[in-house]
Amino acid sequence: MVVMRRISGAGRGLLALGAALLLVSLFGSLVLPSTYVTWFTLSGNQPALPAGSYTGIQATELLNTLVSGPYLWIAFGSILVCVAAAIAIAGIGERTRHFGTFGIIVLLLYAALLYIAAYQYNQQAAAGDAAISIGYGLIVAVVACVLIEAGARLPSAVPTRPRVPAVAAGREKA
């Protein structure tokens, strides 16, 4: 017998909210130009790390130029998979896990790669002063992934069936 594990209505709401926040964090500046959601701010005078504020898409492009490959577009696509999974889970209502955790790991990968790049360029130049700061966009994206993970884990209240009384051991059927 297959046991279906359903999520609660609150879990579905958290999934939808997390997916919406993650989409705004990723594409907010494309949809509404006044909504400029900064993931990282780089400062310094390194030509390989241009100073300025970066959204999620811009940070992906910068990291792709640093690693010379499309590897971070794969990571960006996996964040989109987290969004799609959150929307699908909210629609279907099945309990699944680790989509939000996977999104958090990918976002931490972004932060770690930019931090390592800034540190590396500081070591190479005598007057290296590349610095990185985390913006609200990355924090919103991490909070959205936490909401996705929490929403996917909230169980629904299962109605309990009344117990059937057991037949006495010494009783015979007529």
Cα 3 → chain centroid: 28
In this structure, what token pair is assigned to residue 140? 């919103």
Report the relative pairing of strands 131-134 and 52-54 from DSSP bridges.
unpaired
Q: Are 53 and 37 in contact (CB under 8 A)?
A: no
pLDDT of residue 155: 78
> What's the pTM?
0.80
Residue 96, pLDDT > 80, answer: no
Nearest in space to 56 (alpha carbons), one of 83, 88, 90: 83
Which three-class secondary structure state does DSSP give residue 158?
A: coil
Contacts of 143 (CB under 8 A, 6+ apart): 21
- Please report how many Cα atoms fall inside a 13 Å half-sphere around the Cα of residue 158, on the Cβ side: 10
Its sign, for the CA torsion 21, 27, 30, 33, is: positive
State how far the Cα of 94 lies from the Cα of 12, in Å rounded to an integer: 10
**Residue type at 57?**
I
- pLDDT tens across 45-89, in order? 777 788 889 988 988 998 888 888 888 899 899 999 999 999 988
Higher pLDDT, 101 or 161: 101
pLDDT of residue 169: 59
- pLDDT tens across 122-173, in order? 777 666 677 788 999 999 999 999 999 998 888 776 654 555 666 655 565 5
Report the relative pairing of strands 40-43 and 131-134 from DSSP bridges.
antiparallel
**Domain at 9-153: CATH architecture:** Up-down Bundle (1.20)
Domain assignments of the chain as residue spans, ordered by start? 9-153
